[in-house]
Structure 1
Amino acid sequence: MRILLTNDDGIYAPGLRALRTELLKIAQVTVVAPATEQSAAGHSVTLLTPLLVGEVFEDDAKTFVGWAVEGRPADCVKLALLELLPEPPDLIVSGMNAGSNAGINVLYSGTVAAAIEGAFYRHTAIAVSLEYDKKIYDFPTAARYARQVIEQILAHSPPRGSLLNVNIPVLERGPIRGVKVMPQNVSPYTEKYDRRVNPRGRTYFWTGPDFECPDPHPDTDVTALAESYITITPLQFDLTDHAKVEPMKKWEWKVE
């Protein structure tokens, strides 16, 4: 089996390294990932500057890892599928992200965007993230859980183009209680900005580090993750509100 591994934290991120180590136990893994961190890049792509690409090797300088791309996560998947990989992958995995991508954060996430890009091209794609608690990330243990979940997903032969979002809870909170397939929480997060003034008198803002969901509806990914469950959310990139299409067709439309 061939796996394309990418992320938004950059090709040298410890989360990607840990996940690659685990995925090598079940498949041939090729990495195509951003050269630098692209967190919260969403599904942006590079149009006005060239996408520089460089080969990356293990510390022994002999083992080929993949390519570092001076671009966004979605760029990485496009280049991998259209230019860099000699054969198409059987699976695309994006992660492991430093910080959960649950709830409305899915819309901002470069990690999830990379998986979406893979699903565009009719490949099964899985985004993997580890919840943040302001302590040291235990990426190796989380990667082991992620690999087990990925193996079980593949055992069910998901149809081509399947898109899944996996979140691993904070491991320091306590033992994993299990796995839950949950819908995405769509409540807005509470966000804060730190207002400051620079030495020249210009006002600027730093985005606050704390994102809290004030209304974590029960039976959603945010709630289950907080209860120490690994969450899996099947996603789709069709944004059409299909329930409104037929009623709106019956409206009397006019243009002059």
Structure 2
Amino acid sequence: MRILLTNDDGINAPGLGVLESIARELSDDIWIVAPELEQSGKGRAISLTEFVRVRELEPQRYAVNGTPSDCVLLALDELMPQRPDLILSGVNAGQNIAEDTTFSGTIAAALFGMQHGVPSMALSQSKGFQNPHSCPWETPTAWGAKVLAPLIEKGWPDDLILNVNFPDRAPDEVKGVMMTRQGFRDERIIRTEGREDLRGNAYYWIGYRGKLSNPDEGTDLRAIYDGYVSVSPLHVDLTHETFLAEMRASFDS
């Protein structure tokens, strides 16, 4: 099995090293094509108005000065002699759950692979739940292959990706694996903070509030809060089917 690895945290991110260790438990044919620099929050962006450069760091390992989706496209069209059998994106430093999934570069890379006919999965390690700096990389290292292997063996429909999130807990404190749906937070978690530089000019940081919500049972949020590995099937169809039916009924009448 040939596996392509990518991420949005960059070619030197610790999570990519964790992902490689997971992948090598599944296969010895590993290719890595990842962004030169961090691309968190870039979502499904592709570089249409500027050229993209690629550096070969060693055989089957490349750094791209572009987005996660750029990396997948270049891997499939230019860098790999044959298409991969599987794409793994991550392991992201921070959970990609609930609304995060719509702007996550980690998720975007997997979706781009799926749209090009390659089974794809996104992996993320939750952080900041135990303390502001907690991000236990030993948890995906210990649980990664155990979670992925049966999913790969079973397979999944070609119009979706699997989104895997590991809880912010030590490996022996993880309660198990839970199949979940995407949740929604009950409060806005993205915030802005204005500051002033040494010349008196305003600038702004954008980031997370870090406040917990009260999610429903069966959601990715609840699973992570309760200490489970969350596995969610995601796809790109954003249609709200219930209201679409209402609109059709209203306009037809």
TM-score, normalised via structure 2 length: 0.90
Indicate the SS of the match to 1:95: strand
1:210-241 per-residue CA deviation (whole Å, 9 max, x = no partner) reads: 33243423331111101110000100101222
In structure 2, the partner of 1:51 is 52
Which residues of structure 2 form unaligned runs of 5+? none
CA distance in 2, matches of 1:209, 1:228: 21
Instruction: State the secondary structure of the residue aligned to 2:190.
Output: coil
Superposed displacement of residue 207, structure 1? 2.1
- 2:96 corresponds to which letter in structure 1? N
Shift of 1:82: 1.7
Query: 8 Å contact 2:179–2:230 — kept in the other structure?
Result: yes
Q: What per-residue deviation string (whole Å, max 9, x for no partner) do you get for residues 79-98 of structure 1?
A: 11122111111111000000
Aligned partners of 2:25, 2:251: CA distance in 1, in Å? Answer: 60
Aligned to 2:90: 95
Per the alignment, residue 106 of structure 2 pairs with 111
Map of 1:206 onto structure 2: 205
Query: How far 1:209 sits from its partner (Å)?
Result: 4.5
Report which stretch shifted further, 159-168 or 100-109. 159-168
Deviation at 1:78, TM superposition (A): 1.1
TM-aligned CA deviation for residue 6 of structure 1: 0.4
Deviation string, structure 1 residues 15-69 (Cα, Å, up to 9, x no partner): 1112102211221110111011101111111111111001122xxxxxx242111
The answer to whether residue 226 in structure 2 is matched with residue 216 in structure 1 is: no
Q: What is the TM-score with the length of structure 1 in the denominator?
A: 0.89
Shift of the 141–219 alpha-carbon distance from structure 1 to 2, 3 Å rule, reads closer
Equivalent position to 2:141, from 136, 143, 157: 143
Identity %: 35
Which stretches in structure 1 are left out of the alignment for 5+ residues? 58-63
2:25 is matched with which residue? Answer: 25
Deviations 1:175-230 (A, max 9, x none): 11010011111225323322212233322222244332434233311111011100
- Whether contact under 8 Å (1:179, 1:230) holds in the other structure is yes
Q: Which secondary structure does the structure 2 equivalent of 1:67 belong to?
A: strand
Q: For each residue in 1:148-196, what CA deviation from the matched residue of structure 2 results, as whole angstroms up to 9, or x when unmatched? A: 1110101112233431100000124961101001111122532332221
22 and 47 in structure 1: CA distance in 2 versus 1, 3 angstrom threshold: same
- Pairs aligned (count): 247
- The superposition leaves residues 70-115 of structure 1 with CA deviations (integer Å, 9 ceiling, x where unpaired) of 1000111111112211111111100000011111111121000101
Root-mean-square deviation (Å): 2.0
Could you tell which deviates more after superposition, 207-216 or 74-83?
207-216
Q: Is 1:157 the counterpart of 2:152 in the alignment?
A: no
1:191 and 1:173 mapped to 2: Cα distance? 29
- Determine the structure 1 residue equivalent to 2:226: 227
Q: Which residue of 2 aligns with 1:61?
A: none
Deviates more, 1:143-152 or 1:193-202: 193-202
